Homo-oligomer: A and B are copies of this chain.
Amino acid sequence: MSLLVVGSVAYDVIELPGREAVEVLGGSATWFSTAAAFLARPVIVAVVGSDFLEDDLAFLRGRGIDTSRIERADGVTFRWHGRYHSDMIGRDSLRTELGVFADFCPVVPEDLRDSDVLCLGNIKPELQKYVLMQTRNARFVALDTIECWISQYRDQLVSMMPRTDLLFLNDDEVRQLSGQRNIFSAAKSILSMGAKALVIKKGEHGAILFDSRGIKLYPAYPVESVVDPTGAGDSFAGGTLAYLDRVGSFDVDDVRRALAVGTVMASFCVEGFGPRAFARIRPSDLVSRMTEYVKMTSLEGERIISDISL
């Protein structure tokens, strides 16, 4: 199988409560693929500037990520400066500098146009759409976006829904894209635009999936100490899509299982600072945390139902 992600490879300046601002490797495609690399061999299509460190590319390659399609352009690498509130949940974007991303036009190399699984990470919708047009045979397409794109390019996003198998949004984005206040009506409206499934990300409270069969709940794996929430959403998507690429099957049940993998992956992400922190996680850690997660969420359903039916 093959997993292609288009998104940003960037440098983030992160300010955590009571700590100095630190510049660190970041970007949606970086986080996505670092998480996905536990279960798949992701390929990144993105652009970086002349200031991008060879060492950072080497780190990604060392994780098993194909970086050969990351273009290097004259100019500076995309930068985002974020400051977290004291609750480690709310954050302000202090600065976003597109750099070489401003003129980026993602061309999918011929040999990647038949990728099975495609992640359209958070970039300008017209670039996502351009990638989508080049990958007509993708068997599974996931799309992520944010409020500023929805407010500026809603029609373009709506036009991609019929080809979207899984849409990643938070509560506000769901309301904004659908124009509906009530989250249930909002989700229904988005599915009626053609998206096969919608997962609403709720940060430390987990996620909720709306698909053709109804609703599925994914409480977050409880993390004792959150170090940095940056990249959690991308890691969630990375774990989810890597699982799907690995099993090579994309029906409702596959997606439902995949999101549990994404949930566990996101929990590892927030426990460390920067994507390099993923290097401390062994594949066996992923398996044992998933085992724990299954125990934490499993109910003796039949027994309960029989007890209350007496």
Binding site for B on A (CB under 8 A): 39, 182, 184, 202, 205-206, 208, 214-219, 222, 224-225, 243, 246-247, 253, 256-257, 260-261, 286-287, 290-305, 307-310
Contacts and interface: CB of A to CB of B under 8 A. Distances in A.
Nearest to A309: B287
Given A261-B308, A307-B243, A308-B290, A296 B217 contact: yes
Nearest to A291: B305
Contact of A299 (B202, B206, B246, B298): B298
Contacts of A214: 292, 295-296
A243 B300 CA distance: 14
A285 to B, nearest CB: 11
A290 B305 contact: yes
B222 A215 contact: yes
B257 A39 contact: no
A182 B294 contact: no
Given A257-B299, A257-B300, 7 more contacts: A182-B225, A215-B222, A217-B219, A217-B222, A218-B219, A243-B308, A298-B298
B260 A299 contact: yes
A284 to B, nearest CB: 9
Contacts of A260: 299, 304
A224 B297 contact: no
A286 B309 CA distance: 9
A298 B301 contact: yes
Nearest to A218: B219
Contacts of A261: 304, 308
A268 to B, nearest CB: 13
A14 B222 CA distance: 34
Contacts of A256: 299-300
A308 B294 contact: no
Contacts of A257: 299-300, 303-304, 307
A181 to B, nearest CB: 11
Contacts of A309: 287
14 contacts: A182-B225, A184-B222, A184-B224, A214-B295, A214-B296, A215-B222, A215-B296, A217-B219, A217-B296, A243-B307, A260-B304, A287-B305, A287-B308, A291-B301
A307 B247 contact: yes
A246 B286 contact: no
Contacts of A216: 296-297
Contacts of A286: 308
Nearest to A294: B301
